[in-house]
Amino acid sequence: MKYLRLSGYEEARDAIARLVAMPQDTERVPVDEAVDRVTACDVPAPIDIPHYPKSQMDGYAVKVDDVAEASEARSVTLTLIGHIDAGAVPGFTVKPGTCAYVATGAALPEGAEAVVMLEDADLSDGTVVFRRSAAPGQHVMAPGFDIARGDIVVRTHDRLSSRLIGVLSALGIKHIEVVRRPRVAIVSTGDEVVAPGKVLGPASTYDANAAYLEARLTQLGCHVTRHGIAADTAASIGEKLDEARGADLVLLSAGVSKGRRDHVVDALSKRGEIHIHGVAIKPGKPTLVGTMGTSVVIGLPGHPTSCAVIFTMLVAPAIAAITRRKGHKSPNPYKLMTRITSTRGRLQFLPVRLEGSGAVPIFRGSGALSSFLEADGIALIPPSVEYLDEGDEVLVYEVDD
């Protein structure tokens, strides 16, 4: 492939989406540790919910015929034979002429057909006076009414929300089979890059990209390993690639351009295949997409804002798709609040701060951390324009992290 042959944004985005695949291997984990995991198979309900006829009200369990004529004008009196609280097992049968007190959530005794609310009856010396009739099943949840045994409650490749965790626990399910988390390796490059906590030299910068990428990848449901900082040599970068081999995805920051100290292309070419090198976007023109065995390798820009923007626009959607996280919402139109210039021929991703229906450009250069820190969104500036005036409409992807 020709070095730095520019691919289109959609081509690069779609290539990454095709290459980044959901892991095929699975693992069994406790349900209470499975939130946000992706299910590996359908899960049928092993029991009915409820699994017994359940009172939905505090009231009296009755036979329907016994209270069929009950009204405010003509009350009916039945003998009270017992009380049933939630969790208690009824030890008696409701026969004609009798009734039993049942609490909300309590099991109905055998023979009972409906529940009359406390408000519609009066307790008097071991009897209950009813002033309202009852229909069959009134205020009773029948077995399986909520969830029937055999119902599929979780589908294959669903993401387990907190609500689903609650449902699975209510069904008595202790463990569940889930897809293995995608394994992502992070490699930073650059002689000038220093790990936080180390002494900062007069011409050095701390590594912001590794921490940012790890945090975002963790939010997206990945298992992340960092492989440190490679020096600006093909040998050093090659060693880090060898360490990362076997990860589902390898992310490198910096070293992907055409400078004399940019060696990612050489190192990867000896170990795998380069599919894309160079995308018609700004920032992120030198973005690289390749493979190394079963690992997908993506080279991101080194400047923190550029790295974050390109990860957000190219890589995060593919990961969100396989971990079932929310991807990009559709872009919304906003009006520019200042004039901007752009590079014709490249789609520009412009960090903006949103104010009502307006978008304020805040890009201060690829190396400026504050550009992305203050951004509420990323505006898309078409490759066909060299400038846009104040008041012109742009499409903006809103970002919340």
Domain 9-23+181-323 class, CATH top level: alpha beta
Q: Are 64 and 134 in contact (CB under 8 A)?
A: yes
Q: Classify residue 345 by its DSSP letter.
A: T
| pLDDT at position 299 over 50 | yes
Q: Are 19 and 301 in contact (CB under 8 A)?
A: no
May I ask the CATH architecture of the domain 332-398? Beta Barrel (2.40)
Domain residue ranges in the chain: 9-23+181-323, 28-48+155-179, 54-141, 332-398
Q: Are 190 and 229 in contact (CB under 8 A)?
A: yes
| pLDDT at position 173 over 50 | yes
Flag the least confident range among 91-95, 177-181, 183-187, 341-345.
341-345
| pLDDT at position 2 over 60 | no
Mean pLDDT to the nearest integer, 325-347: 92
CA atoms within 13 A on the CB side of 11: 15
Give 261 or 308, the one with higher predicted confidence. 308
CA distance 152 to 42: 7
CA distance 72 to 24: 66
Provide the pLDDT for residue 366.
Answer: 62
Provide the pLDDT for residue 3.
Answer: 46
User: Is the Cα torsion angle 125, 131, 136, 140 positive or negative in sign?
Assistant: negative
| pLDDT at position 261 over 80 | no
Any residues with CB less than 8 A from the CB of 373 and at least 6 apart, and which?
A: none
| pLDDT at position 222 over 80 | yes
First and final C-alpha spacing in the chain? 35
- As a whole number of Å, the CA-based R_g of the chain is 32
Q: Are 310 and 301 in contact (CB under 8 A)?
A: yes
Per the CATH hierarchy, to which homologous superfamily does domain 28-48+155-179 belong?
Molybdopterin biosynthesis moea protein, domain 2 (3.90.105.10)
Provide the pLDDT for residue 346.
Answer: 95
Model pLDDT for residues 14-71, shown as the tens digit of each residue: 999 999 999 999 999 999 999 999 999 999 999 999 999 999 999 999 999 999 999 9
User: What is the token pair recorded at 44?
Assistant: 């049928």
Mean pLDDT to the nearest integer, 372-400: 93
CA distance 317 to 389: 30
| pLDDT at position 174 over 60 | yes
1: confidence class by pLDDT, cuts 50, 70, 90: very low
CA distance 157 to 323: 8
**Residue 324 CB coordination number (10 Å):** 20
Provide the pLDDT for residue 381.
Answer: 97
Provide the pLDDT for residue 365.
Answer: 66
Model pLDDT for residues 120-129, shown as the tens digit of each residue: 999 999 999 9
Q: Are 264 and 288 in contact (CB under 8 A)?
A: yes
CA distance 188 to 37: 28
CA distance 361 to 339: 9
Average pLDDT of the chain is 94
CA distance 112 to 29: 42
- The CATH number of the structural domain formed by 54-141 is 2.170.190.11
| pLDDT at position 186 over 90 | yes
Provide the pLDDT for residue 5.
Answer: 75
Any residues with CB less than 8 A from the CB of 241 and at least 6 apart, and which?
A: 187, 250, 267, 268, 271, 292, 297
Dump the DSSP string for 208-275.
-HHHHHHHHHHHTT-EEEEEEEE-SSHHHHHHHHHHHTT-SEEEEES--SSSTT--HHHHHHTTSEEE
The percent of residues in the chain predicted with pLDDT above 90, rounded, is 91
Angle in degrees, CA 274, 277, 283, rounded to 5: 145
